[in-house]
Amino acid sequence: MAGYNAVIVGASGAVGHELIKVLDERSFPLNKLRLCATSRSAGKEIVFRGRTYTVEETTPDSFTDMDVALFAGGAASLEFGPAAVERGCVVIDNSSNFRLDPKVPLVVPEVNPEDVRWHRGIIANPNCSTIIMVVALKPIYDAAGIKRVVVSTYQAVSGAGQEGIEELAAQTRAVMAGEEYPPKKFPHQIAFNLIPHIDVFQEMDYTKEEWKMVKETHKIMHDDTIGITATTVRVPVYRSHSESVNIQTERKLTADEARRVLAGAPGVVVIDDPAGKKYPMPLFCSDRDEVFVGRIREDNSIDRGLNIWVVADQIRKGAATNAVQIAELLVKYGMLRERRN
């Protein structure tokens, strides 16, 4: 059977596990799979399509005879990405290392799939919150243009990794028992709390996470004239990010028109029935690949204003699924060499 040789770097982590799961679910045509991670994780065993794989320590030779490398995140792509490219491997990177490099495409397949065509060996996966937002923005942008975006995010603790999940669980138990559990992963207690602070503070007292949403959206949409301001907030939810997005369009778009446009967009599911109390929520959007949109209504405070509520699984569509979709584009465009057993 024809397929492609793929290597996953960071295979033992949360995004790595999800990459493996998504490759299987989407029946990505694999000829050979190699799983790599740090020396600490080497030797672990992972089952994929009925076969047990042993995780190897990542080295430059891990990319020999490979066609595509999926990096789950972190610093590994800086260390090993160039070695992978030198060996003829296309890198799809989940870290922030290359996202704003003008020589590296930043791709969301529902938004700018054509950018895959001009890669020079590395393709960047955007920040999870950015991916979720631009999938919902693109159909509105195409229908009416966008002048300005104000976004507030409600980001799950799993966005901070397994340590974030464990801290919320342990801290919740401690608080309920009247005990102390000092924060370790987050700057403050996350149980029964909201923290308007994700990543480090940068210029104008915006956090790095907030600037990512601004700069990455401009790059993905190929339009840096859109005014964008963001406030990113960590919330005590295990999985799936939510976003309140206020949009001012260039041309008038009614709420009904916005619903129709969004309902017909790739990767978008509209759940918008206020009378029936139906709207997207993390509880029901986790472990899904779609971006869910609801609470679609006109903003009565400005001309050409819309409000939308957006929810998606940031580990899947915000990371693993988007990366696999990029690999599928490479196959679609004939940009990977096909192999046969």
Among candidate residues 48, 75, 51, 80, the one with its CA nearest the CA of residue 63? 80
Helix and strand numbers (H, E) in the chain are 8, 15
Domain count for the chain: 2
Retrieve residue 231's tokens: 């406030």
Average pLDDT value for residue range 58-77 = 96
What is the Cα–Cα distance from 56 to 196, expressed in whole angstroms? 38
Q: What is the pLDDT of residue 2?
A: 73
Mean pLDDT of the chain: 96
Confidence check: pLDDT of 341 > 70: no
Question: Given the DSSP bridges, would you call strands 146-155 and 339-340 parallel, antiparallel or unpaired?
Answer: unpaired
- Residues 28, 151, single domain; the answer is no
Confidence check: pLDDT of 297 > 80: yes
- Residues 181, 295, single domain; the answer is yes
- What is the maximum span of the chain, computed from C-alpha positions, in angstroms? 62
Q: At 228, which CATH number?
A: 3.30.360.10
Q: What is the pLDDT of residue 338?
A: 77
Q: What is the pLDDT of residue 55?
A: 96
- Residues 112, 8, single domain; the answer is yes
Specify the 3-state DSSP secondary structure of 73. Answer: coil
- Residues 40, 158, single domain; the answer is no
Q: What is the pLDDT of residue 241?
A: 98
Full residue range of the structural domain in which residue 335 is found: 2-126+319-340
89 noted as active-site residue? no
Q: At 327, which CATH number?
A: 3.40.50.720
Among candidate residues 216, 221, 156, 141, the one with its CA nearest the CA of residue 186? 156
The active-site residue out of 36, 119, 241, 285 is 241
27-40 confidence digits (pLDDT tens) = 999 999 999 999 99
- Residues 115, 141, single domain; the answer is no
Confidence check: pLDDT of 14 > 70: yes
133-163 confidence digits (pLDDT tens) = 999 999 999 999 999 999 999 999 999 988 9
Strand-pairing partners, residue 202, are: none
The active-site residue out of 36, 128, 197, 222 is 128
- Residues 277, 213, single domain; the answer is yes
Q: What is the pLDDT of residue 242?
A: 98
Q: What is the pLDDT of residue 337?
A: 81
The CA R_g of the chain, rounded to the nearest whole Å, is: 20
Give the amino acid at 217. Answer: T
Say what percent of the chain tops pLDDT 70: 99
251-272 confidence digits (pLDDT tens) = 999 999 999 999 999 999 999 9
218 noted as active-site residue? no
Task: Please tell me the pTM assigned to this model.
Answer: 0.96
